[in-house]
Amino acid sequence: MPVTNGKVLFNSVPEGYPEPGKTTVYDDSEQIDLESVPIPDGGFLVKTLYLSVDPYMRGRMREPTKKSYSPPFTLGEPLTGHGVGVVLKSKSSEFKEGAHVYGFFRHQNYIVYPNRAGLIVLDNKQKLPWSYYVGAAGMPGKTAYMAWKEYSSSKKGETVFVSGGAGAVGSFVIQLAKIDGCKVIASAGSDEKVEFMKSIGADVTFNYKTSNTLDVLNEHGPIDIYWDNVGGPTLEAALEAANTNARFIECGMISGYNTGGAPIKNIIHVVSKSISMFGFIVSRLEHKYDEQFYKEVPELIAAGKLKVLEDVFEGLASVGDAILAVQKGTNKGKAVVRVADQ
């Protein structure tokens, strides 16, 4: 008996903030018969459980002529992103029926994978909620964990500044920096987020909408490591308050994603203060750190040593709202879309 196989389509390139229903459209016109859907040899049928909604997705909502490390979404086609699902039927020896899998998903209820397609099977010995595997134990967690290990060169007693410190990546970075014995200054855009950053151990926290970033950094800096999630005026302040030989980990610049860019006036400090600045693609670090990551991080979460906050959006049709919330920063914790429970 066919069931609805809903999907979220990329419908138009946004100029400013993405608009649910215009930039992306939920489409329930497709049907699928789970009993009779053809599965090729080596392939398998997956039911989507959780989808990740992340800041970088804004960059994929572009004209295909613009170059970037992440491919643009295709107009009229479903969005894609990190997800967790369960295998319903399989002709693969590796991806067995009932297995939970993590990797790149179309934003759709049911997907037939013709081959492994980069997916991995999650064993989840710690019985974490499956959604965590698109959060702290998924791509955002890898982003924080791997780039921190690769680029921070952190030393005990150094001062770290994390912008976007209440987000999925930022909140993980705060906790990594504290584990390494650093002093952590962290900023976010609401008092509620500031409270959360305090609760996970940040030493100095502030709401950038009501405090002057440079004043705070001048008082509590200079900064040895800056984890940048926002760019723009916050990056300028970090450059002003940077110590000699500072490392800037350029994870994102969300302040410019919906406004045509985030110019900075004082890039000269890269020269005058001998700063290293690292843009990066987490997928290129995975071969080096993936084993270590899956060994350590789920354990840390299970033991309560790594605190996680989620903001769950209900149903595939809420993807557009989740995307907008993440771009506006109104989400409270890692934004995930619950497509199905099991």
Could you say whether residue 333 binds a copy of itself (CB under 8 A)? no
Could you say whether residue 268 binds a copy of itself (CB under 8 A)? yes
Could you say whether residue 153 binds a copy of itself (CB under 8 A)? no
List the x/- string, 211-250, binding to a copy of itself by CB under 8 A: --------------------x---x--------xx----x
The bridge status of strand 334-338 relative to strand 310-314 is parallel
CB atoms within 10 A of CB 292: 12
Nearest to 328 by CA among 279, 255, 271: 255
Q: Which one of the spans 91-99, 191-199, 277-285, 331-339 is the region binding a copy of itself (CB under 8 A)?
A: 277-285
The rounded distance, in Å, linking the Cα atoms of 321 and 21 is: 9
Could you say whether residue 266 binds a copy of itself (CB under 8 A)? yes
The rounded distance, in Å, linking the Cα atoms of 269 and 243 is: 10
Cis peptide bond upstream of 38, omega within 30: no
Q: Taking the mean position of all CA atoms in its chain, how far away is CA 189? A: 18
Query: Binding a copy of itself by CB under 8 A: which of 79, 122, 253, 297?
Result: 253
Question: Residue 18: exposed, middle, or buried by beta-carbon count in 10 A (0-12, 13-18, 19+)?
Answer: buried
Helices 139-151, 282-302: axis angle to 10 degrees equals 110
CB of 312 to a copy of itself, least distance (A): 27
Query: Binding a copy of itself by CB under 8 A: which of 49, 119, 173, 264?
Result: 264
Nearer to a copy of itself, 210 or 245 (CB): 245
- At 324, is the secondary structure helix, strand, or coil? helix
Nearer to a copy of itself, 277 or 312 (CB): 277
Could you say whether residue 284 binds a copy of itself (CB under 8 A)? yes
Could you say whether residue 28 binds a copy of itself (CB under 8 A)? no
Q: Which one of the spans 115-123, 171-179, 191-199, 256-264 is the region binding a copy of itself (CB under 8 A)?
A: 256-264
Instruction: Take residue 190 and report the two structure tokens written for it.
Output: 């609401």
Could you say whether residue 13 binds a copy of itself (CB under 8 A)? no
- The DSSP result for 29-93, as a single string, is --EE-TTT----TT-EEEEEEEEE--TTHHHHSS-TTS--SSPPPPTTSB-EEEEEEEEEEES-S
Question: Cα angle vertex 169, ends 131, 303, to 5°?
Answer: 60
List the x/- string, 30-59, binding to a copy of itself by CB under 8 A: -----------------------------x
Nearer to a copy of itself, 3 or 281 (CB): 281
Nearer to a copy of itself, 42 or 59 (CB): 59
Interface contacts to a copy of itself, rule CB under 8 A: 59, 67-70, 231, 235, 244-245, 250-253, 256, 261-281, 284
